[in-house]
Amino acid sequence: MANHLHAHSIADLDEVQLDLGRRERCGFPEVIYGEGKTKETILKIFCSLKDHGLDGFATRVDAEKGQFLEQELQRLGYSFQYNPVARTFRLVSFSEPPTVLRGKVAVISAGTSDAPIAEEARETALWTGAEVTLIQDVGVAGPHRLQAKLPEFQDADAIVVVAGMEGALPSVVGGFVACPVIAVPTSIGYGASFGGLAALLGMLNSCASNVTVVNIDAGFKAGYVAGLIAKRRTKNEK
């Protein structure tokens, strides 16, 4: 059924108008933003996606909602994965064989405090079907740490770099690779970081030509775009 969904098909779930044609038009199914939605609403959306053969993915799912979804979906016999650090919840319908990978994505974080956003990016890229390498705690305060990890990310189709403080790491990574680097400023830092604004402005002024920037703490957006890039590159190479 999923292969024949019209590009503008909608499931009317009362409080939610679920876009069933998103994968046809945009490459991946509609993603659930968990904040502001009740746990019952998220469950209803997941069940509708499952009924239409689509893989469900939700971001910003707190522990209470995650526990509820785990219990209910387990009762229904669905396959799922909840990452409490990333606050992501992934429902697997196996609309494609799970062994089919769509390109390579690397997620690099500056410090362990950036882990929640890096994990959100990693989980999102995994959901898109990419092979994902996670490299943590290689910020510019110890540049030799990044250089030691070069063999793990130099062949990536796209790289997500997550950093707070002054946000310098994406420029350094960009100078080592020939692929798009998606920079994610985080709200980690002392007072003058202004909740991630300093990192955002630093990344927007990057001197590395292959660096582009998403919003503060937007790990999902970075992982999604990286997954699209990897998918497109893999498709073009076939």
Domains and CATH numbers, the chain: 2-92 (3.30.110), 104-237 (3.40.50.1970)
Q: Rounded to an integer, what distance in angstroms lies between the CA atom of residue 116 and that of residue 136?
A: 11
Output the pTM of the full model. 0.88
Q: Rounded to an integer, what distance in angstroms lies between the CA atom of residue 183 and that of residue 217?
A: 10
Rounded to an integer, what is the distance from CA 60 to the centroid of its chain? 11
Other C-beta atoms closer than 10 Å to the C-beta of 128 total: 24
Q: Rounded to an integer, what distance in angstroms lies between the CA atom of residue 70 and that of residue 76?
A: 10
Say what the pLDDT of residue 22 is. Answer: 85
Write out the chain's pLDDT in tens, 238 residues. 444 556 568 887 888 888 888 888 888 888 999 998 999 999 999 999 888 888 899 999 999 999 999 999 999 888 899 999 999 999 876 555 555 668 999 999 999 999 999 999 999 999 999 999 999 999 888 889 999 999 999 999 999 999 999 999 999 999 999 999 999 999 998 988 999 999 999 999 999 999 999 999 999 999 999 999 998 877 666 5
